[in-house]
Chain A
Amino acid sequence: MTNLDHGKFSRVTTMFHSLLALTVFVLFFTGYAIAFNTELWWMVELMGGNRGVLSIHRLAGFALILLTGFWVPYMLIRSASRSNFREVLPDLRADAAAFVQDVKFALGRADERHPNARQFAGYKADEVPLLSYVGKGVIWIFTVELLLLMISGLLIWRKTWLIDFYNSQSVAMAFVAFHGLLGVIMLMGVLFHTFEHGFHPAFYPIEMKAFLPKDQTPNFHGNPDEYETTGIERLRLRPSWRWATNVVAVLVVVGIVSVLVASLDYGGYPVPETLAFNEGSVLRTIGINIGMFVLLLGLLLSVYGNVLRARYLRQRRERAATGTTAADGGEPASRDEPGTSGTDDG
């Protein structure tokens, strides 16, 4: 009855999301290993050494371009997907109001959050939009960042294309700096995204909507008005949630701050203004490695989500075969299954 039990993505999109995560993580690991070589030299060694690491980066870059090159037209061609597209468009008035109210809420000047900010918070499905303004923001910010990263990456890779246009070395270097800057900005987004969806109390440790296609997600088909509550009280918070969330929150902040400070410190990222050798500091090394650890956590969660989906679908098949009610959301048949608390509570 809450938004919790509504699947969000089609099968193609959940697959796209997992593959996108994989390529983006590989791009991050290789790209950061190069950019923060002093702190992450061990990652270069793990990923093909100095002779291989860039090949992997570029291979993943091509994969990313192919992937989006397939998915975007696919979405535009299917009419059902095109209508979803409308849901993602920012609603300037309501979304801006939700943002303003969120700021007030954070400052203690508002009693509650705006419906457009409240995707999960105990509302019935028909009362709030499926996507909060934060969710829309994530989609659009990542879209723009990825697009610019792909373009600048291609131009760095094929410098001659640039030189043909501008006939200047500075332009090539400007694109290098731009590519690096975008990478740093996007890291913040990805760490935040991992935290937001992995450590929400209702979903921890994983939001299954990203992995289970909506046609497989148990859905509520009744009339919400016939029910007193939203059903959120039937979720059980995992005992480890509190400390896990605190620990990861600290790691996310340390990771983001370290990467930011390091890139400012190196100056004119990733083109240092002054020459400095062996300049790594112990603190910065630890901080940047923590950032990479959170990235790895994100990748592992993405893999875990797929494992859970496979397990859930298998259990459903087994139940169907043995004649028991399938977990269609009407009966909380699979409530005991760990990790899918967000999807199986009707």
Chain B
Amino acid sequence: MSQGVMSTGEGMRIFPDVEACIDCGGCVVACKRTWDREIQNQRIDITTMAEGIAGPQGENAAKVDPLIAGENPGETSLPMQCYHCENAPCVSVCPTNALQKEEDGFVTVQDDLCVGCQYCLSGCPFGAPQFPDSNDGSAQLFGTGGIMDKCTGCRPRQEAGKGPACAEECATDAILVGSAGEISDELEKRGSGSFFNDQAMEIIFGEEDAQLFQDYNPDQ
């Protein structure tokens, strides 16, 4: 099992370690292979910022410290997927309740309820909602998105005690899975930070658990 996966199932949180991600694309491949998704459907995607630019401490050096110091952290890669937010904005904006925050912490999509309005796309700060059918004939004509699809957190795998495919496959253990406490401890142990701003952290972890991550970045 990947060292990034600390516990699975009930109460699971998923979060990236930007210091570890090397933009290899392993998670993207693992996700597509496991769930056989369409080529344009990116349930997980790696976003690279400031590509080709070295940070003040050199390439591949710490990203979070310079960011906190208000400097350009240099090229930074970040696996983006659904973080199954505690205060999920997508759930709030969905007019048909197709999106639900389940009791075990997973944010799920009910295909039968989704009307393809794409409000969730506007609501999600992390670009997680995907609309693989939005280029199909009628959907394109009327601009509906078709049925929304996003990272499921590999719920069935987690229920069977396995980690999400992306996290298990990650060569550098850059995708952390576990409780909020486990993730913040692991980041601290690695000397990594959260990279996201306070607002995003409160969306993902909720106000209370977001505090866990502030120990490392007291002035962030």
| Chain B residues with CB under 8 A of A272 | 92
Count of interface residues, chain A, beta-carbon cutoff 8 Å: 27
With CB as the reference atom, state the residue of chain A lying closest to B144: A54
User: In the assembly, what is the distance between CA of A74 and CA of B147, in Å?
Assistant: 40
Are A277 and B96 in contact, with the CB atoms below 8 A?
no
**Known interface pairs A50-B112, A169-B125. Does A55 touch B97 (Cβ–Cβ under 8 Å)?**
no
User: In the assembly, what is the distance between CA of A59 and CA of B97, in Å?
Assistant: 24
User: Contacting chain B: which of A32-40, A196-204, A215-223?
Assistant: A32-40
User: In the assembly, what is the distance between CA of A54 and CA of B117, in Å?
Assistant: 7
With CB as the reference atom, state the residue of chain A lying closest to B124: A169
Are B116 and A37 in contact, with the CB atoms below 8 A?
no
B184 in contact (CB, < 8 A): no
| Chain B residues with CB under 8 A of A278 | 97
User: In the assembly, what is the distance between CA of A211 and CA of B88, in Å?
Assistant: 50
| Chain A residues with CB under 8 A of B96 | 34, 37, 44, 50
Chain B contacts with A in 122-143, Cβ cutoff 8 A: 122-123, 125, 138, 141-143
A176 in contact (CB, < 8 A): yes
Q: Give the most central of B88, B97, B98, B114: most A CB within 10 Å.
A: B97
Are B143 and A158 in contact, with the CB atoms below 8 A?
yes
Chain A contacts with B in 255-295, Cβ cutoff 8 A: 270-275, 277-278
| Chain A residues with CB under 8 A of B123 | 169, 173
B180 in contact (CB, < 8 A): no
| Chain B residues with CB under 8 A of A59 | 142
B58 in contact (CB, < 8 A): no
Are A275 and B143 in contact, with the CB atoms below 8 A?
no
User: In the assembly, what is the distance between CA of A173 and CA of B119, in Å?
Assistant: 7
| Chain B residues with CB under 8 A of A158 | 143
B95 in contact (CB, < 8 A): yes
**Known interface pairs A50-B112, A58-B144. Does A159 touch B118 (Cβ–Cβ under 8 Å)?**
yes
Count of interface residues, chain B, beta-carbon cutoff 8 Å: 29
* Min distance, Cβ A20 to any Cβ of chain B, angstroms: 21
User: In the assembly, what is the distance between CA of A38 and CA of B110, in Å?
Assistant: 14
With CB as the reference atom, state the residue of chain A lying closest to B100: A277
| Chain A residues with CB under 8 A of B121 | 159
A149 in contact (CB, < 8 A): no
Are A273 and B117 in contact, with the CB atoms below 8 A?
no
* Min distance, Cβ B121 to any Cβ of chain A, angstroms: 7
Q: Which of A35, A51, A157, A273 contacts B95 (CB 8 A)?
A: A35
User: In the assembly, what is the distance between CA of A275 and CA of B100, in Å?
Assistant: 9
User: In the assembly, what is the distance between CA of A36 and CA of B95, in Å?
Assistant: 8
B115 in contact (CB, < 8 A): yes
Are A58 and B142 in contact, with the CB atoms below 8 A?
yes
Are B114 and A176 in contact, with the CB atoms below 8 A?
no
With CB as the reference atom, state the residue of chain A lying closest to B122: A172
Are A34 and B147 in contact, with the CB atoms below 8 A?
no
Q: Which of B88, B91, B92, B116 contacts A51 (CB 8 A)?
A: B116
Are B97 and A277 in contact, with the CB atoms below 8 A?
yes
Are B113 and A275 in contact, with the CB atoms below 8 A?
no
* Min distance, Cβ A56 to any Cβ of chain B, angstroms: 9
**Known interface pairs A169-B123, A271-B93. Does A34 touch B115 (Cβ–Cβ under 8 Å)?**
yes
Are B138 and A176 in contact, with the CB atoms below 8 A?
no
* Min distance, Cβ A312 to any Cβ of chain B, angstroms: 39
With CB as the reference atom, state the residue of chain A lying closest to B118: A159
Are B142 and A38 in contact, with the CB atoms below 8 A?
no
With CB as the reference atom, state the residue of chain B lying closest to A169: B122
With CB as the reference atom, state the residue of chain A lying closest to B133: A51
Are B116 and A176 in contact, with the CB atoms below 8 A?
no
**Known interface pairs A54-B144, A159-B121. Does A38 touch B97 (Cβ–Cβ under 8 Å)?**
yes
Are A51 and B147 in contact, with the CB atoms below 8 A?
yes
Chain B contacts with A in 85-104, Cβ cutoff 8 A: 88, 91-93, 95-98, 100-101
Of all A-B residue pairs in the complex, the 10 with the closest CB atoms, nearest first, are: A172-B122, A37-B96, A55-B142, A58-B142, A54-B144, A50-B115, A157-B143, A169-B122, A54-B115, A34-B95
List 19 additional A-B contacts (Cβ < 8 Å) besides A34-B115, A55-B142: A35-B95, A37-B95, A37-B97, A44-B115, A50-B96, A50-B112, A50-B147, A51-B146, A51-B147, A55-B141, A58-B144, A159-B118, A159-B121, A173-B93, A176-B93, A274-B92, A275-B88, A277-B97, A278-B97
Binding site for A on B (CB under 8 A): 88, 91-93, 95-98, 100-101, 112-119, 121-123, 125, 138, 141-144, 146-147
Name 10 A/B residue pairs within 8 A (Cβ), A-sorted: A34-B117, A35-B95, A50-B96, A50-B116, A51-B147, A54-B142, A59-B142, A159-B122, A173-B122, A275-B92
